[in-house]
Chain A
Amino acid sequence: MSESGDPMDVTNRVQLPESEGGQAEHEQGPRLAVRQSRDEPEVQREVVFDVRDVSNYYGDFRAVRNVTLPVFRNEITALIGPSGCGKTTFLRNLNRMNDLIEGARIEGELLYHGVDLYDPQVDPVEVRRRIGMVFQKPNPFPKSIYDNVAFGPRIAGFTGNMDDLVEESLHRAALWDEVKDKLKESGMALSGGQQQRLCIARAIATRPDVILMDEPCSALDPIATQRIEDLMLELKHRYSIVIVTHNMQQAARVSDRTAFFTVEVHEDSGQRTGTVVEYDKTETIFTNPSDKRTEDYVTGRFG
């Protein structure tokens, strides 16, 4: 299942990037496991999202402020942080899902392959066809498994062979073998983990470039969670993934880069605004963070 180059190291050992594939220099303390990094040199990957000083507002209320971070192609970028720190709000900027909320707007610049996503000429529907989304709670339509997967291509006017597309999408979501004999049955009849993989297959079927995942495993048991994580590692070879997670181990296990969000409470107004404290390679965030708040969070002293 998992790519041979990505062993799922869930021990308490930490391997620093400098170590030459052998035993790690040991970092002590309650640090979290970090996925072993291959010794390939840091290649400059293509930037998918270039987020520059983006803030989110709901009416006058500023929910997220001044986020600047690049998201790279074929990487998994994790957004972690305590509840209410704006991770999800930020994630939903990336495919303009916040447009659906009355009174929501953003400031700053958000480039997607160099194009300003919030240019007035940009159609959010076209954006969402390229940038798929998987939600916190599995939300298959009350339709057959087949129709769930075929939904996106159908509304986009897909004219090719739908059967092949559905099969391919289910294969990539590692669900085909479990559902190939019951494609006409309701997607709601599947287990939670299967439903979430169905939602991933549904997102893949529109042939996206990026997949956004908003705590995709929070409603799932550990075994289903592991399957989704394996799947994400598989999928990143084709797609770029941005994932919001409450689960630090998950971020450590799957992501290449991690952004740590926190929430600031304004002393006079009591308003809570989320912002990014630190954004770096996942190993660095979990083993050698430069900000005290990040360190407190990843070592479990807060949040």
Chain B
Amino acid sequence: MAGVSIEARPAGTSLSVSDLRLKMGRRRREGVVRRVFFAAALVSVLINVLIVVTLFDGTWDFLSRVELRLLWTDGWFPRRDMYDIRTIVAGTMVVAVVAMVVATPLGLGAAVYLAEYASRRARRWLKPILEVLAGIPSVVMGFFALIWISPNIMQSFFDAGLFSLGAAGIGVGILITPLVASVAEDAMFAVPGSLREASYGLGARKRATTIRVVFPAAVSGIVAALILGISRAIGETLVVAIAAGGTGGSLFTIDPRQQGQTMTAAMTALATGSDQVKGATLAFPSLFFVGALLFFMTLGLNVMSERFVRRVRKSY
């Protein structure tokens, strides 16, 4: 601190408004900066609007041309003009339910371990590994589901075929476990240590503290984690496209041992042309219809989870 001296300003002898006035040049520069950042924010909004418009345009095109009774038939076979919504919604649900059956205990278990039981050192190792797991490309998980899960679990224990909704569901479940664990762990870790101290101070053991204090205090965040998991399971594409079968279409089924079609897999099949939609009349526009359906389902779930997360923030 060599030789820097800060003199007090002389007290209000000759202060006038012009001394405090915002200079024109500065005002202009601030304005430009503001507009640049506003434009950046606007782009993401515009892209969203564009997506929604495209989706709805295609959906309208499809709905205005399709015979409505074809939306409720025996299965999803776009090449034969059979667009049974139940089939793909049910397939999606089966995959999501199987995925959550896998991801809920694994994810919450990992979260409880990391937030409550792990030593600081274990936490420092495990948390990044969990996050790496979250980065596994879904195409890898798709092949894992087909090559390992399907023969070792679905075929040997459940008497399923090579392709099954169950194998895909388990794969998706493993894929979303890190997401569920990470969000739930954040929620539990955010529970103030003072509540744990209060609990221990009253003679609670670790288990009672976790179940009766930490879990209820973090419940909104935990529910948000599960909803995000469901939403991700519904939106997951490649695992189902690879392992669930039903590439050319599928009959209605809710049996996880069967082949099946989910909304995302159906869209993939349509979009990549493995359904040979060229020339077919309505197969291509049906893609937009399914997309719109998916859009609303995930939007609803995300709004729900957002509400829960906000409740978590409010309580402390």
Using CB atoms and an 8 Å cutoff, list the residues of chain A in contact with chain B: 95, 97, 100, 102, 125-126, 128-129, 132-133, 135, 137, 139-143, 151-152, 155-156, 188, 199, 202-203, 206
- Which residues of A are found within 8 Å of B202, using beta-carbon distances? 128-129, 132, 151-152, 155, 202-203, 206
Give me 27 A-to-B residue pairs in the complex whose CB atoms sit less than 8 angstroms apart, sorted by A's number. A97-B197, A97-B200, A100-B200, A125-B203, A128-B200, A128-B201, A128-B203, A129-B202, A129-B203, A132-B201, A133-B197, A133-B201, A135-B201, A139-B192, A139-B194, A139-B195, A139-B198, A141-B195, A141-B199, A141-B217, A143-B216, A152-B202, A155-B202, A155-B204, A156-B203, A202-B202, A206-B202
Q: Which of A129, A137, A151 contacts B199 (CB 8 A)?
A: A151
- Which residues of A are found within 8 Å of B203, using beta-carbon distances? 125-126, 128-129, 152, 155-156, 206
- Which residues of A are found within 8 Å of B23, using beta-carbon distances? none
Bound-state CA distance A203–B200 (Å) is: 11
For chain B, the count of residues having a C-beta within 8 Å of the partner chain is: 20
Bound-state CA distance A128–B201 (Å) is: 6
Residue in chain A with minimal CB distance to B194: A139
Bound-state CA distance A178–B120 (Å) is: 42
- Which residues of B are found within 8 Å of A188, using beta-carbon distances? 315
Residue in chain B with minimal CB distance to A133: B201
The total of interchain contacts (Cβ-Cβ below 8 angstroms) comes to 65
- Which residues of A are found within 8 Å of B120, using beta-carbon distances? 102
- 4 shortest interchain CB distances as A-B pairs: A129-B203, A133-B201, A152-B202, A139-B194
Whether A155 and B197, one on each chain, are in contact in the complex, defined by CB atoms closer than 8 angstroms, is no
- Which residues of A are found within 8 Å of B194, using beta-carbon distances? 135, 137, 139
**B window 300-316: CB within 8 A of A:** 315
| B182 shortest CB reach to chain A, Å | 23
Q: Which of A135, A151, A152, A206 contacts B197 (CB 8 A)?
A: A135
What 1/0 mask marks residues of chain B from 199 to 233 whose CB sits below 8 Å from any chain A CB? 11111110010001100110000000000000000
- Which residues of B are found within 8 Å of A133, using beta-carbon distances? 197, 201
Whether B198 and A141, one on each chain, are in contact in the complex, defined by CB atoms closer than 8 angstroms, is yes
- A97, A133, A140: which has the most chain B beta carbons within 10 Å? A133
- Which residues of B are found within 8 Å of A206, using beta-carbon distances? 202-203
Bound-state CA distance A141–B194 (Å) is: 9
Whether A151 and B212, one on each chain, are in contact in the complex, defined by CB atoms closer than 8 angstroms, is yes
Residue in chain B with minimal CB distance to A152: B202
Q: CB of B274 within 8 A of chain A?
A: no
